[in-house]
Amino acid sequence: MLKDITFGQYFPGDSIIHRLDPRMKLILIIVYIVLLFVADGLFSLLIGAAMGIAFYALSKLPWKLVIKCIKPIMPIIIFTAVLNIFFVEGDPIFEWKFISVSGKGVLTAVLMCIRIICLIAGSSLLTYTTTPIALTDGLERLMKPLQKIKVPVHELSMMMTIALRFIPTLIDETQKIMAAQKARGADMESGNIIEKAKALIPILIPLFVSAFRRADELALAMECRCYHGGEGRTRMKQLKLTAKDFGAAIFVAGGFAAVILMNMFGPEVFRL
């Protein structure tokens, strides 16, 4: 049960989306998000949505994953929609007592909903198709230039890697400690929230103590293997952009161009 949270985001597969270079995926997702906000009318935005659908189709992931990632933000989507519908000023198309709904309000609400859904589904697709370690790797390499302005890029990525490495170990350990405390008669299931929180203390304290001990030993082992930060470090695995990465880039660039053209020359209806 605890194990599910570990790599729950990544769905192994061998599709073209899975095999894209993580750096390219990161860049493209940023471009895609910008695109969603550049689109200023329903038709432009539908191009963006179509691109998102195409990506999902190419990833060969089950469609219900889209629902899975949208579900938690459903309240936010509904809230935004309601706010937009009732509070955007414009020519009223519906009036009842003090409530008035404008055409502009409805349009804003619809556009906002499509944007948020595409944004969440798009970025979830990134984590669905990329292992956390590949993501960390891609991020480190993309952010390398930031090192010049003293952002500790290598250190952050090293921490991330070690965290990913130790999550399963610490989960195992938590389960062992829980079993040990239960064997001593600890009661973790019953009681109100405060009692349950109190029951966590005898689990968390040994866990923390052991985590610190592990950190100490790991640091020593890293020192013995000549670790001295990111300076002068090479990597065994080099990321290489291949034809499919450029293909994906061209596809997104094409989509972007289409959105801009639609903004400029598309029909004047359903615009903000």
Name the residues that contact other proteins, by CB under 8 A. 133, 161-162, 164-165, 168-169, 172, 213-214, 217-218, 220-228, 232-238
Nearer to other proteins, 148 or 235 (CB): 235
Q: In the complex, what is the shortest distance from the CB of residue 206 to other proteins, in angstroms, rounded to a whole number?
A: 16
Query: In whole angstroms, what separates CA 95 from the centre of its chain?
Result: 40
Could you count the other beta carbons within 10 Å of the beta carbon of residue 144? 14
Q: Can you tell me the distance from the alpha carbon of 28 to that of 268, in angstroms, rounded to the nearest whole number?
A: 29
Contacts 24+ apart (CB under 8 A), 200-206: 203/174, 203/177, 203/178, 206/177
Q: Can you tell me the distance from the alpha carbon of 31 to that of 260, in angstroms, rounded to the nearest whole number?
A: 13
**What is the amino acid identity at position 71?**
K
User: What is the DSSP secondary-structure string of 32-61?
Assistant: HHHHHHH--BHHHHHHHHHHHHHHHHHHT-
Q: Can you tell me the distance from the alpha carbon of 188 to that of 197, in angstroms, rounded to the nearest whole number?
A: 9
Please, how many CA atoms are within 13 Å of residue 238, restricted to the half-sphere of its CB?
4
Could you count the other beta carbons within 10 Å of the beta carbon of residue 56? 21
Nearer to other proteins, 71 or 165 (CB): 165
Nearer to other proteins, 218 or 257 (CB): 218
Nearer to other proteins, 2 or 76 (CB): 2
Looking at residue 147, the DSSP 8-state letter turns out to be G
Q: In the complex, what is the shortest distance from the CB of residue 216 to other proteins, in angstroms, rounded to a whole number?
A: 8
Q: In the complex, what is the shortest distance from the CB of residue 238 to other proteins, in angstroms, rounded to a whole number?
A: 5
3-state DSSP assignment of residue 220: helix
Q: In the complex, what is the shortest distance from the CB of residue 223 to other proteins, in angstroms, rounded to a whole number?
A: 6
Nearer to other proteins, 115 or 141 (CB): 141
Q: In the complex, what is the shortest distance from the CB of residue 125 to other proteins, in angstroms, rounded to a whole number?
A: 22
Phi, psi of 214, deg, nearest 5: -60, -45
Nearer to other proteins, 88 or 133 (CB): 133
Q: In the complex, what is the shortest distance from the CB of residue 222 to other proteins, in angstroms, rounded to a whole number?
A: 6
